[in-house]
Amino acid sequence: MMHKSVSGQNHGRISANWQKTIQPYQKADNRQAAWQLINSLVPFIALYMMMIWVIRYSYWLIIPFIILAAGFQMRLFIIFHDCGHGSFSRSRKVNSIVGSLMGVLVYTPSEQWWHDHAIHHATAGNLDRRGTGDVTTMTVNEYVSSPWLTKLGYRLFRSPFVMFGLGPYYMFGIVNRLPLRKVSRKELVNLIWTDTAIIIKIIFLSWLMGWQHFLAMELPVLFVAGTVGIWMFYVQHQFENMYWVKTDDWDYANSAMKGASFYKLPRLLQWFSGNIGFHHIHHLSPRIPNYYLEKCAVENPELKPETILTIKSSLKSLTLSLWDEELGRMIGFKDLKQKMLATHSNSLQV
């Protein structure tokens, strides 16, 4: 069940005061950053070393290590993500270097991804500016008026098997490896550097343990981390009462408080996901480091979001695929079918 926790009047107060409220949390702490880098990167490397040794004796014995490695890879992605916002460290140079190195480990070119993600933050919830750094979402009218081939492609894309099953390999194996849009020279150089470093990493580990063992280890880690990561991003912006409006009605604070959910996770999962479940706080200010997101939320109850999701309640998002502008909420393909049948029945009665 989704819980509405913030009234419209409360949003007005938040919109007026949120900048002053969040200001104390926007300062990065180099000691916190260093410790997070240590407690994420060191275990990640140690797990790979253990898997390289254990897989020689039994593949099944490395399965627990695969799951743990995927969890730490998620944390590395959050560090990579914060570096792009300039919020991980106080030093711009450190953010750039650490972010680029993390990009190799998470199979993501930093400059290209950071550019698209910045656009996502600037346009989240704006119906007129969809398409960059977000989950492709069609309105009911757009879907109904589309040719059958477009409808088929969209239904396939929104299916859990494609999005969460094939999605990780498509995203990290193809999309992140190529300049699929016009990129700047800086982005292109970084993409080439990242791809080259990834190739060197693959060659070295394949030489060290054999390419069969490497693939048997790396592909599952990438799949688990990628699937969970895509799910986290999906559920934080794809829920029933989300925020989609035209440009003239769009508001930055409301796009954060109404258009990003608070994903209430068990403490261990919250740690592995780098507190990104406090997504409403993150969208309110990307300058807040991940290690201060919870602190900001707890100390400022007036920043409670409109939508709070648990693992159980978030599963409903799997059935939601279209934005209904008339109803002002997300609906599924079954809902659309029932709506069209009801409309047709009413027209016959008339």
Assess whether pLDDT exceeds 70 at residue 14.
Answer: no
Instruction: Please give the C-alpha separations between residue 195 and each of 60, 170, 191, in angstroms, as whole numbers.
Output: 30, 15, 6
Assess whether pLDDT exceeds 60 at residue 349.
Answer: no
> What digits encode the pLDDT tens for the residues 166-221?
999 999 999 999 998 899 999 999 999 999 999 999 999 999 999 999 999 999 99
Question: If we measure between CA atoms, which residue out of 339, 237, 318 comes closest to residue 282?
Answer: 237
pLDDT band at residue 54 under the 50/70/90 scheme: very high
pLDDT of residue 16: 64
pLDDT of residue 342: 77
pLDDT band at residue 163 under the 50/70/90 scheme: very high
- Helix locations, the chain, DSSP H: 8-22, 30-54, 63-85, 92-105, 110-123, 140-144, 148-158, 160, 167-173, 185-209, 211-235, 252-257, 267-272, 279-284, 290-299, 311-314, 333-349
The SS3 of residue 307 is strand
pLDDT band at residue 121 under the 50/70/90 scheme: very high
The SS3 of residue 165 is helix
Q: What amino acid is encoded at 74 in this protein?
A: M
Q: Are 247 and 128 in contact (CB under 8 A)?
A: yes
Burial of 128 (0-12, 13-18, 19+ CB in 10 A): exposed
Assess whether pLDDT exceeds 60 at residue 13.
Answer: no
pLDDT of residue 6: 36
Q: In what side-by-side order are the strands of the sheet with 322-324?
A: 138-139, 322-324, 329-331
Question: If we measure between CA atoms, which residue out of 120, 215, 228 comes closest to residue 168?
Answer: 228
Assess whether pLDDT exceeds 80 at residue 149.
Answer: yes
Burial of 226 (0-12, 13-18, 19+ CB in 10 A): buried
Q: Are 26 and 285 in contact (CB under 8 A)?
A: yes
Q: Are 238 and 320 in contact (CB under 8 A)?
A: yes
Q: Once rounded to an integer, what is the mean pLDDT over residues 238-265?
A: 94
Share of the chain above pLDDT 70, in %: 93
Share of the chain above pLDDT 90, in %: 89
pLDDT of residue 106: 98
Give DSSP secondary structure letters for 240-270. Answer: TT---B-GGG--HHHHHHTTS-EE---HHHH
Q: Once rounded to an integer, what is the mean pLDDT over residues 35-57?
A: 96
Instruction: Please give the C-alpha separations between residue 323 and each of 86, 153, 240, 275, 306, in angstroms, as whole numbers.
Output: 33, 17, 9, 28, 18
pLDDT of residue 212: 95
> What digits encode the pLDDT tens for the residues 67-115?
999 999 999 999 999 999 999 999 999 999 999 999 999 999 999 999 9
Instruction: Please give the C-alpha separations between residue 277 and each of 24, 65, 164, 272, 311, in angstroms, as whole numbers.
Output: 20, 24, 18, 11, 11
Q: Who wins on pLDDT, 166 or 8? A: 166
- Round to whole Å and give the CA distance between 291 and 19: 19
> What digits encode the pLDDT tens for the residues 275-325?
999 999 999 999 999 999 999 999 999 998 889 999 999 999 999 999 999
What's the mean per-residue pLDDT of the chain? 92
